[in-house]
Structure 1
């Protein structure tokens, strides 16, 4: 369970990041958290238990959408034609790689970018956006733990997220 509870005007509320990270609720989730933080204590459940959300986490945003995921990288000045390479620790069952378990998401809007996959070898997958990325925009490359399997049927233990901020266009 990843729910994020908070109290506002003495009333308790709970936000489900699973619902919030859908395209339909992405902006509403961000606006709600922006409106209540930092004047309200917001807690979230992580793999280590419940804890208060920090100012840094509200600025980074990803922990409020994917609280149990691990942040692995941030790329600054990514080219607009950026291709992403994802390395896995075990040989993959390529049949389990899909748009359901690897996504490229525009950070501010929640828009899912259409992507294609190229299996580079048994442990590397190249994620190729079908459209050119927008300048001066942050994107999250999200690898969900459910669905992807190794050849030996092992599943990912934890979802991971990487961020890419594209170059400015001159």
Structure 2
């Protein structure tokens, strides 16, 4: 019954007809999809033809403040269970901190179940990033950047005293766009 209801609710294809390059009508979902796929393939496979060297020159000329090695290590360090407990205590009630849509109250109701899983997830991200880097699939910077995205999202929740210790005037936060 459920499968039948779901099939009945399938959306009607939005693009029901196209005109080809010579003006002919292209009908049928399979032909329309095939034509669109081929058209997009030719567009994105074509050479860019735009000189982007000026963009690189501009970026090379920017004076972007850099974090010290100690600041980097502190911000990219492992996320502990205590860090997550502190973050949970500082979260605003009736808000959903992530894409799962679960409110903070849910995390507060089950911290012993959820938070250890989050710690394991960050550790797994670090492990995967290191193995990707070692296998040469990505540069180390890109691999660590991928796992740093998740760690950064968690760190952003923390607002711990660690940042104050790193840079009392908050300039490290501004560099990372954390405020």
TM range (shorter): under 0.3
Higher strand proportion:
1
TM-score, normalising length: structure 2: 0.23
Q: Which has the higher contact order (CA 8 A, sep 6+)?
A: 1
**TM-score normalized with structure 1 length:** 0.24
The structure that has the greater radius of gyration is: 2
